[in-house]
Structure 1
């Protein structure tokens, strides 16, 4: 078994670039950070410990989110995103606090416990994909006025916690929230989720930087650089594919992948117990 902190073999670099590209393409296409698919890869294929994988995942998700938003702009213009700034602020009011607390909880959990939490959250996100992305166009908001404002803050807090625990952008939960709670169009919801995810992830990333496990980024500079490069290539491709691949075909497939990944992570937790 190769050393988890030493990625010098060309095969590992190729896998890092390829994995980053495929996951980045999914993220750019749908409006996600792609971390739910990357996390099992970091834990299973590259053999990183749970917390180290979460931190690496957070770094790669930041790359995907930061590049996916401009790459999607040809289909979802910046002006459309900016016009919905009240929704972004509403969700950020909860997600920033949730990201900070979630990162703190993750650094205190035992390794096997974190694996199991990750597996359960992957299942929950798969369910959110199946149940929350069933709308292809804009609909009526679930709530309005003060109720919508309060629900947005609460939902944002929960998504921020999940984002920090998994090292994800939280788009799988943000997009259903935007579609159902605010009645946003599915494509617009993808870009709005990226706008909310970026500052949320930066807060979680800052909190993780206080933990000693954060040193994993410095120990694996080349691995991080190669996977980041693949991620940028992938988000560019995903942004170009936006509007070409039907959402109703892609999302159920992604949900199945998440369930398979959850099973693999859960089994990994049994070996670590």
Structure 2
């Protein structure tokens, strides 16, 4: 399947569409696919997932500029820097831990994190619109750094953008509007992912990108197309149906990845 460009593009499109329907890049669903049908080892799959996720995230930010202008993002620079203070460090440490983990252990870690994200989709991804932040001042800053660190670690370990964690954090901790939170999430994700990517580049497994360049390009193109398509279909499927369905997919994927290890 790795050499079949149509399979790479098509699977990327399906995963991208699933992510687009809930406002994410789909990396959480792409990772089990890379480990399962495409047969990549855990660390190689994470590195490939991060490379494809980078393309999707870098494209999504300007795509959303019509809804949330970049000037509005700039007006919330303090929130972005607050989360980055923790997420950049978390991304570096997370990638370092991933490189040192035994393969069998890494599969178990991935499975547990996928299960945790499934629970987040059910209980935290669709919070009510903006509310008053529960913390303020230095307490909020410290909480933002701690949350950012944890998000950076998870993003590096799974090769994801971390939007499923960032968006609830931005809404619940900082009281951001859900649409603004989506764009702020991308602004935090991009440098966080680049940091993890730089750390992974020091490991020999990073060569998987060069060996599978055509595969990466085809799946990235499919992911972009799917994310765009999913965004256009947004609203056609009620969140009350969609989120539990996607959560079930993640739980099944987590079980398969656990057994894979």
TM range (shorter): over 0.9
With the length of structure 2 as denominator, give the TM-score of the two structures: 0.93
Secondary structure of the residue aligned to 1:73 is helix
Q: Is contact 1:33-1:170 (8 Å) kept?
A: no
Q: What TM-score, normalized to structure 1? A: 0.89
**2:85 aligned residue:** 93
CA RMSD of aligned residues (A): 1.8
| 2:140 match | 148
**Map of 2:43 onto structure 1:** 51
How many residues align structurally? 261
Question: Does the Cα contact within 8 Å between 2:135 and 2:173 map onto a contact in 1?
Answer: yes
- Residue of structure 2 equivalent to 1:132: 124
State the SS of the aligned residue for 2:161: coil
Does the residue aligned with 1:137 lie in a helix, a strand or coil?
A: coil
- Does the CA contact (< 8 Å) of 1:52 and 1:213 recur in 2? yes
CA shift, 1:225, in A, is 1.1
| SS of equivalent residue, structure 1 residue 195 | helix
Q: Distance in 2 between matches of 1:187 and 1:248?
A: 19
Q: For 2:71 and 2:236, how far apart are their aligned partners in 1?
A: 22
How far apart in 2 are the matches of 1:237 and 1:127? 25
1:82 paired residue among 42, 54, 74: 74
Q: Is the 8 A contact 2:110 2:257 kept in 1?
A: yes
Greater mean alpha carbon deviation, residues 13-22 or residues 237-246: 237-246
1:217 to 200, 209, 225: 209
The Cα of 1:235 is off from its aligned counterpart by 2.7
Aligned match for 2:177, one of 173, 180, 185: 185
Which deviates more, 245-254 or 164-173?
245-254
